[in-house]
Amino acid sequence: MSVLTREEAQIRARLIEVHRYTIDLDLTRGDEHFGSTTTIRFSAREDGADTFVELSPAALHRAVLDGHDLALDPAQVIADGRIPLTGLAEGEHELRVETDMTYSHTGEGMHRFTDPADGETYLYTMCCMSDANDVFTAFDQPDLKAVFDVRVTAPPRWTVLGNGIATRDGDPADGRWRLAPTPPISTYLVALAAGPYHSVHTEHAGLPFGLHVRRSLAPHLEADADELFDITRRCFDRYHEIFDEPYPFDSYDQAFVPEFNSGAMENPGLVTFRDEFVFRSAVTDAERQTRAMVIAHEMAHMWFGDLVTMRWWDDIWLNESFAEYMGFQILTEATRHTDTWADFGIRRKTWGYDADQRPSTHPVAPAPELVPDTAAARLNFDGISYAKGASALRQLVTWLGEKDFLAGINEHFTRHRFGNATLADFLDSLARSTDRDVHAWADAWLRTTGVDTLTPAITTDGGHWHLEIHHEGAPEPARRRPHRIAIGLYDHEPAAPHQLVLRKRIEAELNGADPAARLSFTGPRPDLLLLNDGDLTYTKIRLDPGSWKAAVRSLSGLPDTVSRATLWNAARDMVRDGDLPAADYLDAARTHLPHETDIAIVQGVLAFARTQIADRYVPADQRPAALNTLAATCRDLLRRTEDGSGPGLRLSAVRTYIASATAPAELTDWLDGDTVPGGPALDPELRWQILGRLAVLGAAGPADIDAELARDSSATGQEGAARCRAALPDPEAKRAAWDALFGETDAHPELSNYLVTATATGFWQPEHHDLLTEYVPRFFTDAAATAARRGPAIADALARSGFPTTVDATTLRLGEECLSAPDLLPALRRRLEDQLDDLRRALRVRNEPAD
């Protein structure tokens, strides 16, 4: 199947204009295929135009252009994924294509899922970014917007949802539905969900709002519906306060769908979310905040992406960076979640920092030649386009002022509503609302790669102290971005020496041209000096020796949550860069997490300590001690919350304690008693987590897994069982898991995307190093073959969750040899490049040779 190149898209956009799609989908043709008939009305702008339309059919029945059957070889069309349209006369045309399409089990195209809890079947589409042609015939590029008129035939008792309001068409027994025609939207935003969904409805601002989930999750949706609607209404109202352009579609449905690859997708009128956001087990308030942020993020897309859409995929940041920034900001302004930027700093921003220091980094707004086709564009839905871009926008608002920023984006919406726009268009809108040179700002921030580093040096002179901020750009030290930052000056509280109080917060502008900035002050130096206090810019920071000493003593006593998150990130970066021993980070966590009050910080620090430090950054012989330190930290948190205070902190501690356990006895007691002493009672998630750890430790077997699956036969239970079976320290279990991941036989039918992730996650365990040695070289050959056969979503899952956990030079060498293959699927290549760079970093942190 060929990919669409930028050049092809530009030529096609010049040659044609698309007016309307009429799509008829028949979902009653069995378990493997569905019928898709597409009629496209379009115009050619010149005589003799040659172009094409994309489709990925299982069978091509007929293609009719202006009433005449096209002479096509169906096998060739299926192989090429295109129907050529040659010699078009100037003026209007109508193309009708009748096909059978294949249901997907990878979260792409039209995904089909059968719920093991009750046997019910659910469908949903994921057309982003170039998978619309897996559902219908399409001119599949973002700048050929059109009206979509969709009709559906489904089993009579099913519900059908789409971009427009869905109504039954005729006799309900016929199962016919029609979706209200859309305003002009891009092909990648077309959405459908069908099945016996359980729905909850309300109305707000004159529009129908709906929540939808598979029936087996109905009680959990009902329990959360009020909260979900409250967040939705608050965000909707706040967007209408700051945006001049009203919500541009006829309804707002949110469907929580199974086996969804992304967190969510911003389809206008029908936002789809992964259904893990309908919580069936206990969660922390930070996790509820994350769900709320995703709701706010996707709603922002109704303007940033759906109303005004990028022209080509090099400008995905115009969608994702804005939605990411607005999601956190609107949540802070409109809901009870007022500490969202601490969560952003500790959880999302680190995603951007990590991505931006790998060889695969790219500018937030890459040059056109860096995004030559849709395969390359797919790789840029990453921490740079989301977290770094959002950080850059937060700095832009700090530099520009919120009033001018909002004036610029409102002009942008007005000028380009229901159309397409580029970075240049956006900058022109901003420039008309400010005297600042936004084009120069964009060149420095959006067209560059890497993370700057700010390092303070403090000297004292009698009654004065002097601060010099060394500013190093990356990847070129002399290429520095301008920054507007706050600098926090903190002193120990005399009456409570482990508490820090803010003496003063000062603002500073670093122009980027100078390698250092110098400031002088009267009086004693502060005990702690924190650059980028408030986390308003995107940069790594370092601490001078005196400030690090104060942080080690009093980090949990820093009064502001965002400031603490900034300090923890500084420590994290120092570990990753080899400037702070991993053991020192663990010691800081051991000292301060038992006193931390912010759940997002606790979760972020524990996650880094458990998954990176314990599993990668400390040598194998030091790993048990690292796990024991984490377990002791969690025990302190459990003791602190015995009185029922901080249930979220307690749940976070329980989870990490389970993952860090090195002996099975206590976990076995918890599982048998179905509770943690003092709470919480074990819900399905915790039971599967305990059983998984017992499997790793050799204290649970197949019979235990079968018994737990009988207790929880849900889709999540199936994933838990797959993860546990793959985690057993048994050669036969490892062999069976490997065959399930990579085999292509009747005995091993291809796993869905979620079962691939679950199996791969369970398979690789540092405790099983000797048992897994033979699989390390096999991974690189088998993953390449499976990725080529199953496509980008499975390639990403295999490389993300199935990459060997062995931290050694042999794994690095084998991976580098794999990358030398010229035909490696781009999605696999990109993820492997990142994994291998992380492996090199781990070897450097360990002071072990890479060759």
The catalytic residues are 298
User: Cβ neighbours of residue 683 under 8 Å, at least 6 residues apart?
Assistant: 280, 281, 282
- Copy the structure tokens of residue 531: 């650059």
Residue 258 DSSP one-character state: T
Residue 26 DSSP one-character state: E
> Looking at beta carbons, which pairs linking 470-475 to residues 24 or more positions away fall under 8 Å?
470/515, 470/516, 471/510, 471/512, 471/514, 471/515, 471/516, 471/517, 472/515, 473/512, 474/357, 474/449, 474/450, 475/449, 475/450
Parallel/antiparallel/unpaired status of strands 464-472 and 483-493: unpaired
Cα 819 to Cα 813: distance, rounded to the nearest angstrom: 10
Amino acid residing at 180: A
Cα 325 to Cα 393: distance, rounded to the nearest angstrom: 7
- Copy the structure tokens of residue 525: 């130096």
Rg of the chain over all Cα atoms, to the nearest angstrom: 27
Helices and strands: H and E segment counts in the chain? 29, 28
- CA nearest to 231, candidates 345, 117, 336: 336
H helix intervals, 60-181: 74-80
Inter-residue contact 50 to 80 (CB < 8 Å): no
- CA nearest to 719, candidates 109, 113, 125, 193: 113
DSSP string covering 546-580:
HHHHHHHHHGGG-S-HHHHHHHHHHHHHHHHTTSS
Q: CA of 629: how far to CAs of 83, 251, 288, in Å?
A: 62, 51, 28
Parallel/antiparallel/unpaired status of strands 453-461 and 198-204: unpaired
Inter-residue contact 431 to 439 (CB < 8 Å): yes
Q: CA of 29: how far to CAs of 63, 469, 547, 818, in Å?
A: 20, 67, 68, 41
- CA nearest to 715, candidates 277, 290, 275: 275
User: Cβ neighbours of residue 433 under 8 Å, at least 6 residues apart?
Assistant: 404, 405, 407, 408, 411
How many other CB atoms sit within 10 Å of the CB of residue 19?
Answer: 16
User: In what helix (H) or strand (E) does residue 781 lie, and over which residues does it extend?
Assistant: helix 775-790
Cα 324 to Cα 141: distance, rounded to the nearest angstrom: 23
